[in-house]
Structure 1
């Protein structure tokens, strides 16, 4: 039976450190013919977290994805890690890096990053080492395009850490830690959705994401506390960040830029602002690092009123659609991408769960997964790559306080 699952349709109808990691085995699973399998790693918050941040997770949960249905079958959970709220795989999937969103790794009250080697046949993880993130409560990490450094956004520490990757995949101490500075910003933006009581922390600098542009020439970071997008170059021999000609772009006070995603040609960057639930469409010049905002569009329809905080933004594998998640409002916004890169909101879909934080496509692009932090569940949608529509699979995967995904194909 067909059900009206989109929020828009619903509104219209209603209103008009050890050598080996610890693990927990899961029930035996059937092998996929041909040998290759799709592995999904899911991290989140567990009891080892700062005050107020503790969650129900156990560590890094490992699942096998059914390539036909998108269903996730549990394989193993690695529990010897504190609140792994963001994960990333190396380009060759030989290594996985997980930040711990904590503030007690060392006497400086830093967070940390754990390096794992990955068995590309089984997906098994083996811990290599841990290193300081260069600041407290890290929120995001990525690898630079050379694969020589891990870049970390330390949210409470107000800093960007650059960690060198050794030949064996393990991590060294930071080669650079850059601290952002700026004036105190308001807790709310002027262009909030009506009735939005949610606030973002503007007590100081709070980097929320750091990653390279597609050319690999520049490193960008969203600072949700200073309402800025910072731009640097990365000196590969030294691992030092150098400010670009225009070191940052200021966005609306109180808007809290959180995450960004580049269009496929690298000329457009979509910046998601958490507090006012807006997407800034900006041009980006990979020769100079110049970033110029061109458009602002809401992630909620005009029907929506109440509290909301945007969380994640993705560009579809074919580059024709952009997706954004809204916490509190519990929706997924779907945008059509015009030839000039501008966006048009075409639908808003219910997540079927609470506080959807991270989203990620599986490697085939057939499925979109949502980590619903407060519902302790992962939900998934089948993606129509022609229309951008999302069709709920009705699969609920129980995971305590999930916040992040990483996918790989086994060899």
Structure 2
């Protein structure tokens, strides 16, 4: 079900309030953004938690909300919402932007208590979503999904299920049932790491395997996953014909007990991986061998300054489009860390800025790299910052977008 807004009326209202860069009169001079072709639009899809969720996981969202981005100001204007989906807490686009895939962070899709993944086709004129089908994620409460580099499979990280699911993509963009589900096992880990920020009372669930992110490396040769419950980073190869995962020569590396590796980002050349650890709010910089998949940690750096004390949990990590800066979000501490990337890939923390909201999780750059958006789950809002590509600085632009329990983004240019 899609609930439309009157875009024309909303734009006129925004113009009246001074928040939209429209001309002061219908006969007056056109604004600077008129240089953008009339049919060229940037749409932003935002998902998050709604009422259909496991106990304790419900949120205020309605589904997958679609916004149009003002490419001059960074403001987001509501367009419509696809409502018939349970807690789409992570979404991703296919490389050609023809399809969108959304997980449902649930545990009641079937009798096996799995979560699910929904495939959508994307209308390239309006941006509206058309549901193709829904399949099992291969485990309970999925937390992340990505499209493999080759474009033939969706990879799913099942957090509570402690597994990675491989879903084949059919020619029409719909999904098949899992061709492989790999369950991780390992020793019990502590709830907190020894190298926590002082006074950090936040804990991460280490009751068992909790896969938090899975994606292919830039070459597409390997599949990498962060297991926040076992404090490991796993590496596999994917057989594209069978859809089966096979352990790499070094199948995993162990990180600091209790650190809870959550998300990662690769450098453009695929030789450096930045691993964000949730519980101790650290980034592990590691070399990555694109021939063997071997990971070797080289550096560990905090996402909060040495002045910070108290509870915090790191959430998301991004590399700037030009590769010169790395950004990380801190929940509870409500800050964004900015790192300069050295010639050898090492990181230096150069600033920590306020999110202007509560419990910022996902972050994303718009397609031009001009703005960085942050989904603030507990304050039911999205905030945005103008990015200085030369210095890495983030300038808050005073745009708050109201949306219930946001946790994920995807962009589309039409």
Q: Which residue of 2 aligns with 1:173?
A: 177
Q: Which residue of 1 aligns with 2:15?
A: none
Quote how far apart the aligned CAs of 1:112 are: 0.2
Q: 1:41 aligns with which of 39, 45, 51?
A: 45
Is the aligned partner of 1:244 residue 2:248? yes
The C-alpha deviation readout for 1:313-352, integer Å capped at 9, x for no partner, is 0000000000000000000000000000000000000000
Q: 2:198 aligns with which of 194, 197, 201?
A: 194
Q: 1:257 aligns with which of 258, 261, 265?
A: 261
Q: Which residue of 2 aligns with 1:401?
A: 405
Quote how far apart the aligned CAs of 1:33 are: 3.9
TM-score, normalized by length of structure 1? 0.94
Q: Which residue of 2 aligns with 1:26?
A: 5
Q: 1:55 aligns with which of 51, 59, 62?
A: 59
Q: Which residue of 2 aligns with 1:126?
A: 130
Q: Which residue of 2 aligns with 1:89?
A: 93
Quote how far apart the aligned CAs of 1:264 are: 1.4
The C-alpha deviation readout for 1:190-234, integer Å capped at 9, x for no partner, is 000000000000000000000000011000000000000000000
Quote how far apart the aligned CAs of 1:270 are: 0.1
Q: Which residue of 2 aligns with 1:231?
A: 235
Is the aligned partner of 1:307 residue 2:286? no
Quote how far apart the aligned CAs of 1:69 are: 0.7
Q: Which residue of 1 aligns with 2:216?
A: 212
The alignment partner of 2:7 has SS state of coil
The C-alpha deviation readout for 1:141-192, integer Å capped at 9, x for no partner, is 0010111000000000000000000000000000000000000000000000
Give distance in 2, aligned partners of 1:194 and 1:354: 21
Quote how far apart the aligned CAs of 1:27 are: 2.2
Quote how far apart the aligned CAs of 1:120 are: 1.2
Q: 2:150 aligns with which of 146, 150, 153?
A: 146
Q: Which residue of 1 aligns with 2:113?
A: 109
Quote how far apart the aligned CAs of 1:25 are: 1.0
Give every structure 1 segment of 4 or more consecutive aligned residues whose post-TM-superposition deviation is greater than 6 Å. none
Q: Which residue of 2 aligns with 1:387?
A: 391
The alignment partner of 1:36 has SS state of coil
The C-alpha deviation readout for 1:252-305, integer Å capped at 9, x for no partner, is 000000000001111100000000000000000000000000000000001100
Which protein, 1 or 2, shows the higher relative CO under an 8 Å CA cutoff with sep ≥ 6?
1
Query: Which runs of 5 or more residues in structure 2 are unaligned?
Result: 12-33
Give distance in 1, aligned partners of 2:150 and 2:337: 33
Contact persistence 2:106–2:116 (CA under 8 A): yes
Q: Which residue of 2 aligns with 1:221?
A: 225
The C-alpha deviation readout for 1:342-381, integer Å capped at 9, x for no partner, is 0000000000000000000000000000000000000000
Is the aligned partner of 1:324 residue 2:303? no
Is the aligned partner of 1:79 residue 2:83? yes
Is the aligned partner of 1:339 residue 2:339? no
The alignment partner of 1:197 has SS state of coil
Give distance in 2, aligned partners of 1:201 and 1:309: 12
Query: Which runs of 5 or more residues in structure 1 are unaligned?
Result: 1-21
Give distance in 2, aligned partners of 1:282 and 1:33: 43
Give distance in 1, aligned partners of 2:155 and 2:37: 38
Give distance in 1, aligned partners of 2:6 and 2:292: 53
Give distance in 2, aligned partners of 1:215 and 1:146: 9
Give distance in 1, aligned partners of 2:149 and 2:187: 32
Give distance in 2, aligned partners of 1:252 and 1:206: 16
TM-score, normalized by length of structure 2? 0.93
The alignment partner of 1:68 has SS state of coil
